[in-house]
């Protein structure tokens, strides 16, 4: 399979790295020239990666085109390009519907939306795909695991769930900030909290029954139970659901 990439930024770099870094049978990858620095870096690191003269040369030179543009750039950039009927187009762009993709890349009809995460760079990402698409599945199985999601509502909910990462780090910052207020040096407080949660993140690779994990870590009458109950009573977990509803509304409005 040969790939063309339009929009060479953070997520495109992760996909290309996962395809080519220390990989058996790295495929040919043709990059759009912008962002020139990232494109040159990828082409310099991987022998099967080349930078095209312009966006149309990417479309002309690849049977599978990956769209990794920011949604606000996509309409103008894609409107200028000529696709062919037999091409497969795989979009990573949040909030751009299949209907709009079909309009933008006509006469190509084999299109799929995906939600790659930065962990595709180490071939450890689980990537939702909608609608199911054999070419996208082969690509993202290679980069970890493809998760075909036939139901649009389920796909959009998964997309919304990726908005929780900044808040996760803010939660860790609240804990380390509280330790600082109790007199611990900032660096010590941050390193301690990082070590606590890094260990738990590693454990998640094997266990993902979150309710069970919460029970396992809450000794009856203990301090984990106390803290969990305090947040639950304050409505923090209801707020998580409410926040995700707001994100979903925003995605629908795009």
Ligand X SMILES: NC(=O)C1=CN([C@@H]2O[C@H](COP(=O)(O)OP(=O)(O)OC[C@H]3O[C@@H](n4cnc5c(N)ncnc54)[C@H](OP(=O)(O)O)[C@@H]3O)[C@@H](O)[C@H]2O)C=CC1
Phi, psi torsion values for 72, nearest 5 degrees = -70, -20
**Contact residue for ligand X among 17, 32, 87, 176 (CB under 6 A):** 32
Phi, psi torsion values for 90, nearest 5 degrees = -115, 120
* Residue 70 binds ligand X, judged by CB under 6 A: yes
Spell out the residues 6+ positions from residue 66 whose beta carbon is closer than 8 angstroms to its own.
Answer: 3, 4, 5, 6, 12, 15, 90, 91, 92
Residues in contact with ligand X, counted by CB under 6 A, come to a total of 24
Q: Is 224 annotated as a binding residue?
A: no
* Residue 149 binds ligand X, judged by CB under 6 A: no
Radius of gyration of the chain, Cα coordinates, nearest whole angstrom: 21
* Residue 9 binds ligand X, judged by CB under 6 A: yes
* Residue 1 binds ligand X, judged by CB under 6 A: no
Q: CB of residue 5 vs ligand X: minimum separation in angstroms?
A: 9
* Residue 92 binds ligand X, judged by CB under 6 A: yes
**Among 15-23, 62-70, 205-213, 220-228, the segment contacting ligand X (CB under 6 A):** 62-70
CA-to-CA separations, 21 to 41, 58, 227, in angstroms, rounded:
13, 21, 43
Report the alpha-carbon distance of residue 140 to residue 29 in Å, rounded.
15
* Residue 35 binds ligand X, judged by CB under 6 A: yes
Binding site as annotated, residues for NADPH: 55
Q: Which residues bind ligand X (CB under 6 A)?
A: 6-12, 32, 34-35, 55, 68-71, 73, 77, 92-94, 115-118
């Amino acid at each position: 399979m040969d790939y063309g990439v339009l929009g060479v930024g953070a997520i495109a770099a992760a996909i290309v790295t996962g395809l080519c870094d220390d990989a058996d049978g790295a495929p040919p990858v043709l990059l759009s020239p912008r962002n020139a620095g990232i494109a040159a870096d990828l082409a310099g690191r991987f022998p099967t990666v080349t930078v095209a003269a312009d966006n149309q040369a990417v479309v002309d030179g690849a049977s599978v085109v990956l769209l990794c543009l920011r949604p606000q750039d996509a309409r103008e950039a894609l409107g200028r390009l000529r696709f062919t009927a037999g091409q497969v187009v795989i979009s990573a762009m949040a909030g751009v519907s299949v209907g709009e993709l079909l309009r933008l890349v006509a006469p190509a009809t084999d299109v799929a939306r995906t939600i790659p995460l930065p962990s595709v760079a180490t071939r450890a990402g689980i990537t939702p795909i909608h609608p199911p698409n054999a070419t996208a599945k082969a690509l993202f199985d290679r980069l970890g695991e493809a998760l075909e999601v036939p139901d649009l509502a389920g796909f959009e909910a998964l997309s919304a769930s990726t908005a929780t990462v900044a808040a996760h780090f803010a939660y860790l910052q609240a804990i380390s900030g509280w330790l600082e207020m109790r007199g611990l040096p900032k660096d010590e407080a941050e390193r301690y909290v990082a070590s606590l949660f890094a260990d738990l993140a590693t454990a998640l690779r094997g266990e993902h029954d979150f309710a069970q994990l919460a029970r396992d870590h809450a000794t009856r009458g203990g301090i984990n139970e106390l803290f969990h109950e305090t947040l639950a009573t304050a409505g923090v977990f209801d707020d998580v659901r409410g926040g995700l509803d707001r994100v979903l509304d925003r995605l629908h409005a795009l």
